Amino acid sequence: MSLLKFTASWCGPCKKIQPIVEATLKAKELQSEYRAIDVETDSGLELSERFKVKGLPTFLWVDAVGAEVKRVIGCDEEKVVALFTEFAEAAKKNARIPLLPEAMLDL
């Protein structure tokens, strides 16, 4: 399982939500156990197109084969924290589910 964070350096809402994202990742202990991948949309156009990212920021939870589980678009703090919390709970319950392989992401 992986959590993809689609952002852009010029995106105001992305900058606004970033401290919340970092605090939530740290609080949920997701930085070391599960992959949270930053995708800069300007340089990751192919990946953005693959996952049909239409707005920024977009937070996308994908399973081990790259299928979308859940998506949050925008900087609604409540929705973003809820997604990360749900992801963390699922990750802890399914600790043996492999991470999405980097090769699938073409990073």
Of 82, 7, 72, nearest to 43 by C-alpha is 7
HSE-CB at 10 with a 13 A cutoff on CA atoms is 3
C-beta of residue 9 within 8 angstroms of C-beta of residue 69: no
Instruction: Give the active site residue among 1, 3, 4, 14.
Output: 14
Strand, helix or coil for residue 71: strand
75 is catalytic: no
Instruction: With residue 5 as reference, give the H or E element that holds it.
Output: strand 2-7
Instruction: Give the active site residue among 4, 11, 37, 56.
Output: 11
C-beta of residue 66 within 8 angstroms of C-beta of residue 35: no
Catalytic residues: 11, 14
